[in-house]
Structure formats: C-alpha cells, structure tokens
Chains A and B, each alone.
Chain A
Amino acid sequence: MCQSCGKGHKDLHVDLKQIKLKEKIDAYRGEAGSLIPVLQEAQDIYGYLPEETMKMVAKEMKIPVAEVFGVATFYSQFRFTPTGRNVIRVCMGTACHVRGGLKVLKALERELDIKAGETTGDGKFTLETVACIGACGLAPVISINNKVFGNLTSEMVPGILEKFE
C-alpha cells in the first residue's frame, strides 16, 4: 500500500507531502533568503526534516546539499527524527529555573521514562527543552502542542499528561 496516499497501488507512487512541499517551494521561488521559511514549511508538512526532503529542497532551490544541512542543523527549531503525537516543551528560562523548572522536567522524565530530547516508545510524547517560552509570569511553565501550562509543580505532571491521547 502506498504510504503517502493510503491507496493500494504499488508502482505509481504519489507522494502527497512532496507535492505539497513543491507547491510551497514554488511560492517562494525567486524570493531571496527563502531557505529557512522553506525548511519551516517542510517541517510543518513532515513533522521533521527527513534527509531525502532536505536533498530535494537543495535540488529544487539549487542550493548545495551541504548548505541546506548546515542551515538546518544550526537552528534549534529543526529536527531530524520524527516526533511523538504530542510535543512537550519544558521552559528552561531564568524565571522557570529559580521557581523549580528543573523539578518539573525531572518529573516529566520520570513519568514518561525518557530523557529530554527523546520520544516515548509508543510514539505518544516527545520531550524537549526550550530556552524561554516568554510566559515568565506563570513560571514554571511547559507547553504541550503549543498550549501553555503554568504555575506547575511536579505533582501536577501526571494529571496534565492524562489529558493527551
């Protein structure tokens, strides 16, 4: 079965994600400095940056593959492995640090049995740390799928995780 479109054909492989990305690249064509926005679009489509996709971006945009890799690996927003269904970002900002952000991170690591940067075996959660979410008034905070949870204690962690499928 075709992995991309879910249909039962074998030979005529149509990669819908690739088509979508090509459309995006076409929209940026001719605009200077568009590599980063294109990579952001690619990550939105795939959830991460597969090696093949970066090669395709390089070819389409006529930029050396090495440069695409160089740019992608420089910025912390880009990932190179698939994420879980829910992405947890733990804020490591100063306000969160002094108000016990590390304890929240440790509680998440314990609860999910993974370290920061890893994904759970069942693909449910990816745990990441970020420099600052900018919700310092509510420290310590985490965000799950961009929804912010504030004023946390380690005891609140299991209850929050329960809400996610």
Chain B
Amino acid sequence: MQTLAYPCCEKCNHTASTPCRDYIKCRVEGPLCHDDPDCKQKRQDFLAKMYDPEGLTKQILICTGTGCVSSGSQRLIELVREELVKRNLDETVRVRSTGCHGFCEQGPIVIIEPDKTFYTKVKPSDITEIIETDIVGGNKVDRLLYRDPVSGESAVTYETVNFYAKQNRIILNNCGQINPERISQYMAKKGYQALEKVLQTMKPEEVIEEVKKAGLRGRGGAGFPTWLKWNLCRKAQGDKKYVICNADEGDPGAFMDRSVLEGDPHAVIEGMLIGAYAIGADEGYVYCRAEYPLAIERLKIAISQAEKNGLLGKNILNSGFNFHLKIKAGAGAFVCGEETALIASIEGKRGMPKVRPPYPAEKGLWGKPTNINNVETWANVPHILRNGADWYCQFGTPKSKGTKIFALTGKVNNTGLVEVPMGISLREIIFDIGGGIKGNHTFKAVQIGGPSGGCIPEELLDLPVDFDSLSEVGAMIGSGGLVILDDTTCMVDIARFFLTFTQKESCGKCTPCREGTKRMLEILTRITKGEGKPEDLENLETLAGVIKKTSLCGLGQTSPNPVLATLRYFREEYEIHIREKRCPAHACTALLQYHIDNEKCKRCGVCAKNCPVGCIFGDKNNPYEIDSQNCIQCHTCIDKCKFKAITVS
C-alpha cells in the first residue's frame, strides 16, 4: 500500500532519514521543497483518496472501540463490505473502522459521511436497509436515528445530537474520525506537525516555556503543572533520562485514557516525543493496564508505524534527537497508578510506593531522572505546540486551562465520554449533555474522581468544574469519572463500595491505610446491615483523619474521601441506617423485606416460578407469601410481577 511517505516525483528525494525542513507538512500540504502544481495535485488526490470524503460518493464509518465491539460492530463491518460488493458499490463507497465516539451506550454507532448522518444501535439486520435507503436512495433510515431523551426529537447528524453539540472536542476530535491503525490518517489531520515544528524551530527551553504559558496541568488527578514537572526533570543531573506515559487507568468508572489510546494513539506518541525532546530523554515507556488489550494492540501498531516512518528511533527527522518507546503491560494493581509504584512495577518489582523526595524527576526509573504524565496530558501536548499557547488558553478558566474529558456514567440518559472546557458547571454536563436522569428517578448526587473523590449533592451542581473549586467542597477531578447517582442509590452503600475497593487495593505498606481502611469498612458494613452504633460516625471521622495524615501515597491519603464527602452532605442517611435500621434508597439488601400485596396480587404465580431460591409459596386458592428468612433480596419477583403487587420496605 502506498503511504504518505512516498515521494511525489524525482525532485522530492527527501525521506524520513534525510528529511527536508518541512518534511511532515510537505506530505500533507506539499510538496514544499519544489514548486510543481502537478505534484501538489498528486498529493491532494492521494490525501483525498485516503482520507477526505471528496472523490468518494459516501463513506461509512463504523466504531470499533471496546464498547461498540462488544455490541457487535466487527460483524457490521463484514456485512457492509459484503453488501457493497454485492451491489458493485465497493469502488465508490468506503467502509472505515474508527476509534471510540464516546457515546458507547448507543453503540454500535455507524456514521455516513459526508452527510454526518448518525445511526445508533445498529444491528446486522439493519445493514441492507442502510445501504438501500441511505447510500443508494439518499434518504435517512429514521428509526435508527438518535432520539433525544428529553425532547423526543430525532437528530439526523451527529452535530445536532445534544450530547455532541455541547461538547468541545479537541483531544477526542480524531477519535471516531480516523482509523487509529493508519498513521497516514493521523498525518492527514496535521499529525506530527507539532513534532516537526518543535524539532526544527524550537529549543527545549522554549518548548517548556510554551507549555508553561498554556498552563497545562496534569490530567491524572492532582493537577500538577506539567511544565514544572518537565523543568525539574530537565534540570536534574544525569545524561540518561526517561519519560513515561501512565496508562494504568485504574479508577473504576473512568475510561477516557483507554479511548484515546484506542482511537488516537499517535497523539500520545507525538506528545511523548515532544516531552522527551524538552526534557532531554531518549527512552520512554507506556505503562498500560493489562485489562485494556485493544489499547495495547493499537499502541503496538502505532509504535511500529512511527518507527517505519522515522518518527521514533535514531536521529528523528534528521534533528539528532533519538527516542525509543516501549510498552509495559501492567498486571492488575490499582496502586501502580501512583508514580513511584508504577516505576517499581516497570522495574519488575512489587508495585509499592516509595517515600518522596527524591521525586522521580531526580531519581526515578533505574535511579535516573524520570518524567511521568498520564495519557490525556500527553495527548494535549501536540495541540498546544501546533496551535500555540494563546490558542489553548482560550479554553478553560484562568487557573485550569484547556478541556477535560469526563466519563459520564451511572443513572444518566446519555452515558459516554464527554470533553468540555474546564469551568463548565456540573449541571450543564449532567443535564444538557447527559440528557438528565434515566427513567422516572430524581438526581441525588454525582460521584466525581473515583475512589479518591467525593460525592457532590444537587445544591452544588452549579459549581464550575476545575481543579481548585472541586477540592474546596471535598471532591476532586481525579481521573474524570462522573458517576451519576439517583434516588435508588444509597450513599452509605456507595461509600462502602469505594472503601471495599481501596481496602482491597491497598498495597499494605503503611499500617494506617492497610488496617485503617479495614476498620472503616467493617463499620460501614455493620451500618448497612442495620447493626450500626451511635458512636460509629465519630469513629469513622477519627479514623479517616488519621489515614489521611499518615499514609505515604495518594491512594491511602485520599481513600477516606468518599466516606467523608458522603458524611458531609448525606449524614442523615447514615443516621437513618443507624437509628431506624432502614435504608431510604432501598439499596442495602440486608435491611429490605419483600411483601406481596394481596389486593393487587392476581395469584398468577410468576413470582414463585421465577424465585431462584423458591421462597415464595401459594397457589390459586391460597394467597402468595414470601418467606423472608430464606429471601435473598434479589429483586427478581418485583421485576417479574406485572401487577406491581410486590413491595419493599
């Protein structure tokens, strides 16, 4: 297959190893090394054929992110190809697999370009109709269009879908648009031009200065200024330095890093190249969790393509800059998201955090100065360097610049990935983009920042989402997980859920974290069973204070946050559990009792037939009853009863 790296004619004798000044740009806009309208046309034609919809009548884009693949999108691609061949359309209509569109719940997603038609939940049986009605007939298949959960109106193009219309997609822009397994498509989207600009025209110090001006802060949790980290590492003594991409996205409920790696892996590689140049590193690692096999696969392909095109390896673009990149697969330990633990894991040891200082910037991997940023942070870098800090600063707030990707999940209508400028309110994210709460339920709280974050109640929903405002109310952006909770979610249970997680993932090095989280979990478990004592809440707060102050790493220090935040805003719910032994949200199963209302019951027996433990007795002549001793509170009878005759108390 011809790639973008091919020379247009004999006059262009530049290759990746002997590039001209504008080698990358030349591939896309060129040729720039000589003036020939024919050559220019040749390049443009090539680009058009490869990427641009012009020249083709239509393109069918099918999402192959993890979400859509599990909803069956791979099969769709095969079917569309077969159908096109059958109708002799395979020359004029192209099928492309793309990265994640972020709207996973509506998957598999199929987009028709250039019309921007947005089809959702496409099934194999829909393919013939799409080809016939849309591709051939030029009409829309109405029933597959997205219907807004609030207004009930259908949206024809993705631009009119509220979920997308209110977002500001910079980092996610390529995801879902380009084929992540083709470097040329990334290059056609101005990819690697930032690297070229940096290597040809900027000194490392100038790169750091630009990132400083852009005000980029780490997207992994703490929001530490990226330029400061880079600068510390650059100034550290030593001729061997490393850069690492932290792709150990362990927070349950966050999956933006996975989507960026799966949908736009070259952006991360380009960001790391620029960072390595600024710092003076010549070797890098991407530490990716093993639970993301597709991300690792795409990254492997991207690295090998970058190597083949002379963008990774020795003497990159003839600038004298060397950089080698390797992938390390994690082995399932949440604590490895902490930078010193991550380094220990790359070194092949147990992933346990170390005392800082010395910081990794001075003494990191193999004792050498090391700079670690997470996936989203690295993916921001090419945009800043290509478009300039001033451009970047137009997004966000004075102290938190740029955009942030959130994973919007839970009891909300539109779940998926959402990229918004910093400073937007939670209300806008949840109700405008997210389309409000699912079903006939009411909003209760939003859990932000995973196991290190907190729960924010309705009265604080107008708070701007940035690094600083959230920490003032006991939460944090963290990795960017937003889990929406409704009136059926019990806040004690949520606190217990997170503590179960951190307790299990505590590496065991520090006693307060190892033992303290266990004691807190025991108290919470007792409360959810109706065995709480009046002094429990005070004990929880004392323990939380000690764990926060005396744990070594972020995991321990932030582990009490979910408990403290729920105690702060939902104390009454805890008290009801303790005092009245009941769960207002009907979520703590140990406190639930199921009853059959004999007036509503038609004695159909469906409940008894479906009860997995056979604890419902009765027949046509005798009223049905539930044996609460043996009931396992599985809720099946309620789900099955057509007459709403079964209630919980």
Contact = CB atoms under 8 A, between A and B. Distances in A.
Interface stretch (B175-183, B208-216, B290-298): B290-298
Given A75-B331, A106-B632, A131-B501, A99 B346 contact: no
B331 A98 contact: no
A137 B69 CA distance: 13
Contacts of A6: none
A103 B635 contact: yes
Contact of A95 (B333, B409, B498, B632): B409
6 contacts: A95-B415, A98-B483, A98-B494, A134-B292, A136-B415, A137-B103
B329 A40 contact: yes
A37 B67 contact: no
Interface stretch (B249-257, B389-397, B548-556, B567-575): B249-257
B454 interface: no
Give the interface centre of B409, B450, B501 by most chain A CB atoms within 10 Å. B409
B434 to A, nearest CB: 12
Q: Which of B66, B70, B255, B328 has the most CB of A within 10 A?
A: B70
Given A75-B351, A138-B67, 5 more contacts: A36-B328, A71-B350, A75-B332, A106-B632, A132-B251
Nearest to B106: A137
Interface of A: 32-37, 39-40, 70-71, 74-78, 92-99, 103, 106-107, 110, 130-139, 141, 146-151, 153-155
B331 A134 contact: no
Contacts of A95: 252-253, 409-410, 415, 483
A95 B481 CA distance: 9
Nearest to A132: B252
Contacts of B456: none
Nearest to B407: A136
A98 B489 contact: yes
Given A33-B348, A110-B612, A131 B409 contact: no
A76 B258 CA distance: 20
B71 interface: yes
B350 A134 contact: no
Contact of B366 (A32, A97, A139, A141): A32
A123 B345 CA distance: 33
A146 B293 contact: yes
A32 B283 CA distance: 14
A74 B351 contact: yes
Nearest to B256: A134
Interface in B432-475: 447, 450
Give chain B's interface residue range (CB within 8 Å of chain A). Answer: 35 or more
B409 A133 contact: no
Contacts of B411: 98-99
A131 to B, nearest CB: 5
A95 to B, nearest CB: 4
Contacts of A131: 250, 252, 334, 501, 505
B332 A76 contact: yes
Nearest to A92: B252
Interface of B: 66-67, 69-71, 103-105, 107, 249-255, 258, 290-293, 328-334, 345-352, 366, 407, 409-411, 415-416, 447, 450, 481, 483, 485, 489, 494, 497-498, 501, 505, 507, 612, 632, 634-636, 639
Which of A97, A110, A139, A150: most chain B CB closer than 10 A?
A97
A93 B349 CA distance: 26
Contact of A134 (B69, B249, B416): B249
B409 A139 contact: yes
Contacts of B291: 130, 132-134
Contacts of A74: 333, 350-352, 507
Nearest to B103: A137
Contacts of B253: 93-95, 132, 136
Contacts of A35: 348-349
Contacts of A96: 252
Contacts of A106: 632, 634
Contact of A149 (B70, B328, B416, B632): B70
Nearest to A89: B291
A32 B647 CA distance: 61
B450 A138 contact: no
A138 B331 contact: no
A40 B331 contact: yes
Contact of B66 (A71, A97, A134): A134
A88 to B, nearest CB: 14
Contacts of B69: 148
A136 B410 CA distance: 8
Contacts of A150: 67, 70-71
Contacts of A154: 634, 636
A149 B69 CA distance: 10
Contacts of B639: 153, 155
A102 to B, nearest CB: 9
A138 B634 contact: no
Contacts of A93: 252-253
Contacts of B330: 75, 77
Among A95, A154, A155, the most chain B Cβ lie within 10 Å of the Cβ of A95
A138 B410 contact: no
A129 to B, nearest CB: 10
B247 to A, nearest CB: 11
B145 to A, nearest CB: 19
A93 to B, nearest CB: 3
Contacts of B251: 132
Contacts of A76: 331-333
Contacts of B249: 134
Contact of A36 (B66, B331, B410): B331
B70 A147 contact: yes
Closest 3 CB pairs of A and B: A137-B104, A148-B70, A93-B252
